């Protein structure tokens, strides 16, 4: 686990249409995470199929394809200590009914079909999803966040 661990986050079309972009990004910034990649994009059916290939054949797959292509998303690469696990906690359980109080899905969503946000579930998934949505030159990490030195001890957690 590295201080510079990266994860992939997407504010889904319902989150964008409901005007939640700023409030959601704020949670990651408030935590001290560094956003090193971000863009608004329309997910094509091809891109959606690539992202969610593990769900092909599941009963909810067609609805998921419709949902994720129903408007633009905000795709992000979020960096920080244990980013994958930590961001998943901030996002909350897939089913908003079971999401911890204070998580994004607990606060803003009711059902799995419209759960507002996606976050990678492992480092391997994060790497795969970042590769799907971002070219290497679209990731900007050559700047220092003012929080970087305050939210974890660099010497202890690096490497
Ligand atoms: P996400 O974290 O993006 O991963 C897969 C998505 O499929 C999930 O969030 C939901 O948006 C969607 N989904 C819809 N129905 C289900 C279901 N029954 N089980 C799991 N995921 C579902």
Residue 71 pLDDT: 98
Residue 149 pLDDT: 75
Q: What's the 141 CA to ligand 1 centre distance in angstroms?
A: 30
Q: Is the CB of 70 under 6 A from ligand 1?
A: no
136-144: long-range contacts, CB 8 A cutoff, minimum separation 24: 138/37, 138/39, 139/36, 139/37, 139/77, 140/36, 140/37, 141/4, 141/34, 141/36, 141/79
Its pTM stands at: 0.94
Residue 159 pLDDT: 57
Q: What's the 135 CA to ligand 1 centre distance in angstroms?
A: 26
> In sequence order, what are the residues at sequence separation of 6 or more whose Cβ sits closer than 8 angstroms to the Cβ of residue 69?
13, 42, 43, 44, 45, 48
Q: What's the 113 CA to ligand 1 centre distance in angstroms?
A: 6
Active site positions, annotated: 118
φ, ψ for residue 126, nearest 5 deg: -60, -50
Q: What percent of the chain has pLDDT over 70?
A: 95
How far is CA 22 from its chain centroid?
14
Please say whether the dihedral angle defined by the alpha carbons of residues 94, 96, 99 and 103, taken in this order, is positive or negative.
positive
Helix (H) or strand (E) holding 130: helix 123-133
Query: Which atom of ligand 1 sits closest to the CA of residue 52?
Result: 5
Residue 158 pLDDT: 65
pLDDT digits (tens, 9 = 90+) for 65-104: 999 999 999 999 999 999 999 999 999 999 999 999 999 9
Write out residues in the chain with pLDDT < 70, as ranges.
Answer: 1-2, 154-159
How many helices (DSSP H) and strands (DSSP E) are in the chain? 9, 4
Q: Is the separation of the CB atoms in 157 and 3 below 8 Å?
A: yes
Q: Is the CB of 113 under 6 A from ligand 1?
A: yes
């Amino acid at each position: 686990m590295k201080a510079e661990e990266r994860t992939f986050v997407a504010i889904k079309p319902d989150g964008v249409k409901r005007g939640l972009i700023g409030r959601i990004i704020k949670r990651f910034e408030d935590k001290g995470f560094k956003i090193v990649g971000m863009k608004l994009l329309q997910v094509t059916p091809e891109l959606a199929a690539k992202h969610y290939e593990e769900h092909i054949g599941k009963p909810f797959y067609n609805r998921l394809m419709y949902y994720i292509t129903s408007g633009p998303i905000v795709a992000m690469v979020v960096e920080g200590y244990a980013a994958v696990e930590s961001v998943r906690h901030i996002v909350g359980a897939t089913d908003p009914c079971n999401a911890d109080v204070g998580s994004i899905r607990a606060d803003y969503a009711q059902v799995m079909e419209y759960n507002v946000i996606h976050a990678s579930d492992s480092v391997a998934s994060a790497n795969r999803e970042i590769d799907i949505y971002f070219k290497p030159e679209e990731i900007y990490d050559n700047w220092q966040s003012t929080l970087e030195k305050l939210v974890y001890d660099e010497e202890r957690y690096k490497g």
